[in-house]
Amino acid sequence: MHKRLFTPGPTEVRPEILKELATPQIYHRAPEFSDLYAEIQPKLRKVLYTKNPVLLFTASSTGAMESAVTNCVAKRCLNLVNGAFSKRWHEIAVGNGVPCDAFEIEWNKAIRPEMVDAQLSTGKYDAVTLVLNETSTGLANPLPEIAQVVRRYPDVFFLVDAVSGMAGVKIETDAWGIDFVLAGVQKAFALPAGLTVAAVSERALVRSEKVPPRSYYFSLPLMYKSHQKNQTPATPAIPQMFALNAQLTDMLAEGMDARFARHERMAKIVQTWAKKHFDIYPEEGYWSKTVTCIKNTRNLSISDLVKTLAKDYNFRISNGYGAIKEKTFRIAHMGDAQVDEIEGVLKAIETVLKL
């Protein structure tokens, strides 16, 4: 029996979209492929609020994170860290020999614009990485406010991991001056894993021509060269592209504002419920609109709760991440999940725990 996913990636994929994966395959050097690629572009640019090219990575989000830091840093990169994924971005930079420093704060606290200002004012950096929505802790950093600070430093490129936010919350890529914004499609896009999209600014593409090549598969100059022909340098995940194309059409038919509003409604419901029965892990004012990380204030066995929900209700929620595995649990409310489904999960938890 299928367990319906309320995990913060992968998320539940609708059967209509799954069917798209079975579309007969096309040759990636044939015109029909370029047509598919070209059809996807304007839709993605709408969802990402950008005029920039949106590159398709046949990789999970981690691959695009690697592309960002290997291609867009000429001098030194500042990695803002307040969770597992922002820490991973620092490790990716270190692992690829990209000069970088981590600025780490407590994981239940948001990165504040003043902190970013203080770091950038040292003049050491020409790029900064930020995770919009820390999926490990359910914390949303104040992206527009931080973007405002970064824009005051014209040489500093702004690289944003929007993995569990994009397509669930509005990200004004161009208005906020984001140079590289990426998201794997298995989160709020509600698609099967295997593809990551990233909008890349013109100046980031220009810089990527100049930095010493640190990567081949994730080389922005190579990807952009193919992009101009509506192609990819290597064979892409063609099945996922069929699914992406169909899902983007459905998303735009729903309306992005309606989609964001639905996410906000679901978030409110889960947050109110969590405050009533438990507590919420990150500090108030910075709760994610796509995933809630709930504090285990009742000293429950989280693994038992997760197992029972899967066995008796066919609902899959998630335990905490890393060090807070048993101290928290996470309910994702993103993608194509609907309000009544989220309410159903909360009801099931109430029944299991006799709340």
Decide if 90 contacts 68 (C-beta within 8 A): no
According to the binding rule CB under 6 A, does residue 192 interact with ligand PLP? no
Decide if 229 contacts 34 (C-beta within 8 A): yes
| Cβ-proximal residues to 163 (8 Å cutoff; 6+ apart), any chain | 9, 61, 85, 131, 132, 133, 135, 182, 183, 184, 187
33/294 with CB nearer ligand PLP: 294
CB of 282 to ligand PLP, least distance (A): 14
Residue choice 53, 138, 168, 184 for contact with ligand PLP (CB under 6 A): 184
CB of 201 to ligand PLP, least distance (A): 20
According to the binding rule CB under 6 A, does residue 315 interact with ligand PLP? no
According to the binding rule CB under 6 A, does residue 164 interact with ligand PLP? yes
Contact region with ligand PLP (CB under 6 A), list: 96-104, 160-168, 247-255, 312-320: 160-168
The span from the CA of 268 to the CA of 232, in Å, is 40
Query: Around Cβ 313, how many Cβ atoms within 10 Å?
Result: 18
CB of 183 to ligand PLP, least distance (A): 8
Decide if 197 contacts 160 (C-beta within 8 A): no
- Residue 135 pairs with which residues in a beta bridge? none
Half-sphere exposure of 348 (CA within 13 A, CB side): 22
Residue choice 6, 7, 9, 267 for contact with ligand PLP (CB under 6 A): 9
According to the binding rule CB under 6 A, does residue 131 interact with ligand PLP? yes
Decide if 315 contacts 332 (C-beta within 8 A): no
The span from the CA of 221 to the CA of 239, in Å, is 25
136/271 with CB nearer ligand PLP: 136
The span from the CA of 246 to the CA of 335, in Å, is 14
According to the binding rule CB under 6 A, does residue 161 interact with ligand PLP? yes
Contact region with ligand PLP (CB under 6 A), list: 129-137, 258-266, 311-319, 341-349: 129-137
Residue 68 CA, chain-centre distance (Å), reads 14
Say what angle helices 339-353 and 256-277 make with each other, to 10 degrees: 10
10/313 with CB nearer ligand PLP: 10
Give the number of residues in contact with ligand PLP, rule: CB under 6 A. 13
Contact region with ligand PLP (CB under 6 A), list: 95-103, 159-167, 250-258, 294-302: 159-167
58-97 binders of ligand PLP (CB under 6 A): 60-62, 85
Contact region with ligand PLP (CB under 6 A), list: 100-108, 157-165, 166-174, 324-332: 157-165
Residue choice 70, 71, 129, 135 for contact with ligand PLP (CB under 6 A): 135
Length of the chain counted residue by residue: 355
The span from the CA of 213 to the CA of 290, in Å, is 36
The contact set with ligand PLP (CB under 6 A) reads 9, 60-62, 85, 131, 133, 135, 161, 163-164, 184, 187
